[in-house]
Amino acid sequence: MISDDRKELDPQSIWVVVAAFNEAAVIGPIVAEIVGRNYRVVVVDDGSRDATAQIASAAGAAVVSHPVNLGQGAALQTGIKFALLDDSSYVVTFDADGQHRPSDIPLLINALVDAKAAYALGSRFLGSSRGMPFGRRLLLQAAIWFTRVMTGLRLTDTHNGLRAMTREGASRLSLRQNRMAHASELLEQIAASGLPYVEVPVTIDYTRYSLAKGQGVADSLTILFDLSAQKLHR
Amino acid sequence: MIAQIGFSILLSGVMVYAWTEYRRAPVIAVLSMLVATAGLYFVWLPTHATKLAALVGIGRGVDLIIYVWVVISLILLLNLHLKLRSQAELITILMREIALANARTAEQNK
């Protein structure tokens, strides 16, 4: 049964935040598809050296440009802050490399409404993933275990960039990890907020392009170091 | 005696530095203080250092003191790294404000 809250949802009150660094090759169709669904899109161009900002702008996105490359975590925080400065009711984070499906956005928003949750976290392990390499699967399972130990959150997927949050949920986030450790930091902050969250099955389409942009074992060590270092200073 | 005084001054300097850093990085400060205190103890009681060194398989007490100094250097290096991280966070905040001030909405792009 569709709740009344869901019926009253205005797509224009939903900001989709896309952090992008040198994504000129793929950003146009992604933005166009999201805009076509009537959502508002902000692309945070994280110091790209290519035409990412211009292409995103032409496709109908608001564009916020970092003067230099700061990292995906910094870009997401900028995008979330931009959305909160506006009158958004919901904020969605969406990867720029084409591995997410815009058709999953309403599933996340509906889950927020139906479960009265502050965060809806996409899970490829509840949903599906196409073309995931075995090494990536192992790495993600290790990350899931690490997150359970560090945050107590019993999630099935922890480094999925497709998430939705209410305005209150978004305002509770304050990412300090500029680079890849932001995904773990975000979950730590969700756990610390005490606000309700829900996992939602989503589909991830791995492509050669998205895999080239993804993380490896060396990156996971950097994430561990960054998370540890942050706990040593204020 | 001269070496003991020299080491004591250096280690005391480390303790003062650790105290000034306490508010920003309490873990690092406490670690530095503990190691510096251990260093001072061994500098003034070298026989204890020799006994402990033999116990842990280092050999001579003076080597143990040098190792303590190496540990202090590494902790201070880590502290420098953390300071750089703090600077990077400030730069990020500044960059974010600049980016938001210059944001272009979809309507402005038309």
pLDDT in tens, A7-41: 668 899 999 999 999 999 999 999 999 999 999 99
Least confident of A167-171, A195-199, B10-14, B95-99: B10-14
pTM of the model: 0.81
* Domain assignment present for B104: no
Range of the domain at B56: 2-79
pLDDT at B69: 80
Most confident of A144-158, B13-27, B65-79: A144-158
Range of the domain at A221: 4-230
Residue A173: is its pLDDT beyond 90?
Answer: yes
> A174 to chain B: nearest residue by CA?
B93
CA distance B48 to A171: 56
pLDDT at A149: 85
Give the tens place of pLDDT for each residue, A79-127.
999 999 988 899 999 999 999 999 999 999 999 999 999 999 999 999 9
Amino acid at B41: Y
Picking from A195, A209, A211, A229, the residue whose alpha carbon sits closest to that of residue A27 is A209
B residues 88-107 near A, CB within 8 Å?
A: 88-89, 92, 95-96, 98-100, 102-106
Give me the mean pLDDT over the A158-178 stretch.
95
* Domain assignment present for B85: no
* Domain assignment present for B28: yes
> How many alpha carbons fall within 13 Å on the CB side of residue B87?
6
Q: Which residues of A touch B (CB under 8 A)?
A: 35, 40-42, 44, 57-58, 60-68, 70, 74, 77-78, 81-82, 85, 176, 178, 229-234
Query: pLDDT class for A166, splitting at 50, 70, 90?
Result: very high
| Beta pairing, strands A119-130 & A163-166 | antiparallel
Give the tens place of pLDDT for each residue, B46-94.
888 888 888 888 777 777 778 888 888 888 888 888 889 899 999 999 9
For chain A, the domain total comes to 1
> A175 to chain B: nearest residue by CA?
B89
For chain B, the domain total comes to 1
CA distance B82 to chain A (A): 7
- What ipTM does this complex have? 0.85
* Domain assignment present for B84: no
CB-CB under 8 Å, B24 with A233: yes
- The CATH number of the domain holding residue A152 is 3.90.550.10
Q: How would DSSP label each residue in A11-53?
A: GGGEEEEEEESS-TTTHHHHHHHHHHTT-EEEEEEES-SSSHH
> B101 to chain A: nearest residue by CA?
A64
Query: pLDDT class for A6, splitting at 50, 70, 90?
Result: low
